Structure 1
């Protein structure tokens, strides 16, 4: 399975292409691309992203989509962090990006960003039983604490390198008082949370981000080790303090000649000052740098989700997966829709709605194959999907079951079943009822991943009057719009559906 992920930050945007399914759950990087979008420069006085910023972002997303498409990866997953998260027009910008580029940058919370970055770092350097991660971006600084695999506590503070540069270090060279002011500001914001991330004798402290990598490059060069990767490089907080003073005292031209600082000479002083103040306040003495960060965490999560999905398939469901791969279906989207559809079906059944025993298997197969018709044409691809499924070799399914799968997939979009549809009316009455009810579930599940971000998670589904109320977690505005637009058949079969988004933690 090939995966394309990208993150949009305040300073730059990064694309990572990789292939999973290797021994031990490993992956192989196929390609990567960095675009210095510098969205932080494109915020007006009200914090809105300007048209220039939108143009920069659209240009990067188009390049990313072109590269991932050339690698044979049908879907590009993009997460946006501080710049769009804090811009009042961020959701509108994300929607316009989808119209302009075909890519929807999902805006994630600071907590979600920290969790994914921790995951990426945990697979890049050695973590112990207790770890504290600091990830510094252009707009925010994330703290995460956890064990070897995942973060248990995450905090996001508005202490990014670009933000602090603008607030305290607009003058060059940076004065000691200005650098001290950065440190004081960091301590004031971190003080209420410091005990949560206090470093103990056995705590391993890890840094990720461009600033951390730049610091590791400069310190390694001073030790006589120039060039190459810095993943796993360790240095003391005292080394960081000396590097901060060297960078602070240097003129811009001289600062840019320090190894690692070439492209961030204008923000490196603030970035180093933020890291030093935070590490000092938490009691850290030694740190290790991880090159694995947010996008690596996105990649690992997506591959793990797909492996969990495929690992739970029966023999005949594996034949469905093989067919989906042959038709070039977006497997990550198929897996998410299948999981959502399965969850909705289980909740309906638990609430008293009756389904035959075969319903779950048929729905899962239809969800996996619902977009297979895209290999023929985008237009009317639901009809092409039905045709391909009818003529596919789905091992383990009877001809009747294969026809039902085809018809459920056919109705995942556009018109619901109606008397004028000959193939639908040719089914026995009980099968028509089953197709219509399963298609109703599939339509809502597909709508809930309209952003193709696998962000939506199901909460409680309960009866409410003559209809239903569904609680959701993590759904994007585009997912909600998609589900509401496709809930027409659900309303016909089960009653009106109301979607409610649960409040998420994190900044």
Structure 2
């Protein structure tokens, strides 16, 4: 099994492609790519991402998509952080880039970013019973506290290295007053929350991010010779203070010649100052550097999701998974659509709609295989999917069940079942009714992951006097559009379907 994940930050974007062989196996990195998108320098006076920033993002995700495809990975999971999160037009840019490239950058909160970064760091260095993580990006500083693997408390503050450089450090090298003002701003922002993150005697303090790695490289270097890896290296906080004093007096051109600072010379003074001020305020005495961060956390989470999905499959559903892999289907999308379809079916049944016992298994199989026809062609792939399913040799399914699965895949998009379709008409009446009703569910489930972002979760499905109300969380604008465009058959079979975002109002019918 192969997966590809990428994070889009204020300073740079990173792709990670990994493979796991066997249940419980350790991931093996196949390839990685870093793109210095520098979105932080592509903001207008109102904070909107400029056309130049959008171009850089589009080109970076195109490269990520192409490299992943070359490694046999159909989908790249992309999370965007501070730059898009805070830009007023961030969601619009994400939607346009997603539509153009076929890779949708999901904008995540600072808290979600901190949780994933903590997970990635915990799989890179040894965490103890109590740990405090500081992750400094270009736009924000995340602090997280938790146990050996998961964060229990996360805080995100707008104290990123690029942001603070622009706000406070105008001279080169920075003036003493500028640096004092920066440090005061860090202390003022963190002080109200310090009690949550002050380390105790047994607390491990971890730093992650490019700035932290640059500091570790500079501190561990022998002359001009930099260490190959800094993961797991520990230093006293005083050493970081000394490194700050060393770089603050140098102009950027001279800083760039120091080990580890070649590509961070313009922001490293602010970065070191933010980290040192935060550590000093918290009362930390030492820290350990982790090379694992957000994208490593994304990788761990994606593998955990897939492992949980596979472990819950019956033997014949494992045959479905093997068939999907054989035809190069997008397994992450298939898994998401199957999960959404099961939730929708459960909601229908809870509301009194009757389905035969086989319905859930057939719907899950069709969700897993609905896009296998793309190996033939994108155009008409629903018809190609039906043909491949009929002839794939699915294990554990009878010829009748295989035909029902094929027809469900056939009707996941485009035309709904019609009397002019010979394979559909050939079914007995109960078979036609089952295919039509399950296809209505599959179409809505597929629409709810139109972005292939894998973020939509069904909260509830309730029937009222005017039809059905579906409450979801995490849906992107493209997912919402996808659901509304594919609710036609549901409306015909069950009644009107209205979509509600958790904490928001009704979006459409």
Q: What is the 5 A alignment of 1:24-39?
A: 24-39=24-39
| Equivalent-residue separation in structure 1 for 2:430 and 2:290 (angstroms) | 58
- Shift of the alpha carbon at 1:419? 2.1
Aligned partner of residue 156 in structure 2, secondary structure? strand
Deviation at 1:23, TM superposition (A): 6.2
- Counterpart in the other structure of 1:226: 226
- Extract unaligned runs of 5+ from structure 1: none
Q: Does 1:313 align with 2:322?
A: no
Q: Distance in 2 between matches of 1:297 and 1:78?
A: 12
Partner SS for 2:221: helix
Q: 1:309 to 1:496 in 2, by over 3 A?
A: same
1:277, distance to aligned residue in structure 2 (A)? 1.2
**How many angstroms does 1:93 deviate by?**
0.8
Runs of 4+ aligned structure 1 residues displaced above 4 Å come to 222-225
Secondary structure of 2:159's match? coil
Structure 2 residues not aligned, in runs of 5+: 505-509
- 1:415 corresponds to 2:404: no
Distance 1:346 1:149 in 2: 32
> How big is each residue's C-alpha offset from its partner over 1:458-485, in whole Å with a ceiling of 9 and x where there is no partner?
2122223231112212221211111121
Instruction: Give the equivalent residue in structure 2 for 1:40.
Output: 40
Counterparts of 1:99 and 1:405 in 2: how far apart (Å)?
29
Whether contact under 8 Å (1:411, 1:417) holds in the other structure is yes
Matched with 1:143 is 143
Aligned pair 1:83/2:87, yes or no? no
Cα distance in 1, alignment partners of residues 151 and 449 from structure 2: 25
Question: Which stretch shifts more, 470-479 or 45-54?
Answer: 470-479
Cross-structure match for 2:437:
437
Which 10-residue stretch deviates more, 187-196 or 35-44? 187-196
Q: What is the aligned partner in structure 2 of residue 177 from structure 1?
A: 177
Q: Give the superposition deviation at 1:224.
A: 9.1
Aligned to 2:372: 372
Equivalent residue for 1:290?
A: 290
Separation (CA, whole Å) in 2 of partners of 1:367 and 1:221: 53
SS of 1:25's partner is coil
Look up the match of 1:263: 263
RMSD: 1.5
The 5 Å alignment of 1:112-151 reads 112-151=112-151
**Shift in Å, 1:223:** 8.8
Residues of 1 paired with 2:15 and 2:405: CA distance?
A: 36
Q: In the superposition, relative to structure 1, how do residues 236 and 196 fare at CA in structure 2: closer, same or farther (>3 Å)?
A: same
In the alignment, structure 1 residue 276 sits paired with structure 2 residue 257: no
Judge conservation of contact 1:205–1:287 (CA < 8 Å) in 2. yes
Task: Give the superposition deviation at 1:62.
Answer: 1.4
Task: Give 1:378 deviation, angstroms.
Answer: 0.2
Aligned to 1:21: 21
Name the structure 2 match of 1:192: 192
* CA displacement at 1:418 relative to structure 2: 2.0
TM-score, normalising length: structure 2: 0.96
Contact 1:106 1:451 in 2 (8 A): no
Q: Match of 2:99?
A: 99
Q: Name the counterpart of 1:64.
A: 64
Which whole-Å deviations, capped at 9, do the CAs of 1:4-43 have from their partners, x for residues lacking one? 1111111001111111235643100001111111011110
Conserved in 1, the CA contact under 8 Å of 2:98 and 2:104? yes
TM-score by length of 1: 0.97
Indicate the larger mover: 56-65 or 369-378.
Answer: 56-65
Task: Look up the match of 2:161.
Answer: 161
Are the aligned partners of 2:224 and 2:259 in contact in 1 as well (CA < 8 Å)? no
* Separation in structure 2 between the aligned mates of residue 192 and residue 392 of structure 1, nearest angstrom: 61
Q: Any idea what the Cα deviations from partners look like across 1:151-204, whole Å, max 9, x if unmatched?
A: 111111111100000000021111222112111111111122222222111211
- Aligned equivalent of 2:51: 51
What's the CA shift string for 1:289-313, capped at 9, x where partnerless? 1111111111111111111111111
Q: Which range is displaced more, 426-435 or 22-31?
A: 22-31
SS state at 1:328 partner: coil
Give the conservation status (yes or no) of the 8 Å contact 1:132–1:146: yes
Q: 1:396 to 1:126 in 2, by over 3 A?
A: same
Q: Aligned partners of 2:440 and 2:153: how far apart in 1?
A: 38
What secondary structure sits across from 1:47 in the alignment? coil
Aligned to 1:400: 400
Greater CA drift, 21-30 or 260-269: 21-30
1:448 and 1:117 map into 2 onto residues whose CA distance is 27
Following the alignment from structure 1 to structure 2, what is the Cα–Cα distance between the partners of residues 356 and 260? 63
CA distance 1:471–1:89, shift in 2 (3 Å): same
Q: 1:286 Cα deviation (Å)?
A: 1.2
Task: Give CA-to-partner distance per residue, 1:212-250, whole Å, 9 cap, x none.
Answer: 000010011159973211111111111111111111111
* Cα distance in structure 2, aligned partners of 1:292 and 1:228: 15
In structure 1, what is the equivalent of residue 507 of structure 2?
A: none
Q: How many Å separate the matches in 1 of 2:502 and 2:404?
A: 35
Q: Which residue of 1 aligns with 2:484?
A: 484
**Structure-2 separation of matches of 1:269 and 1:490:** 58
Question: In the alignment, which residue of structure 1 is the partner of 2:303?
Answer: 303
**Equivalence for 2:466:** 466
Residues in 2 aligned to 1:200 and 1:311: alpha-carbon distance in whole angstroms:
39
C-alpha distance in 1 between matches for 2:115 and 2:469: 29
| Conserved 8 A contact 1:386-1:406 | yes
| Secondary structure, counterpart of 1:383 in structure 2 | helix
SS in structure 1 of the partner of residue 417 of structure 2: coil
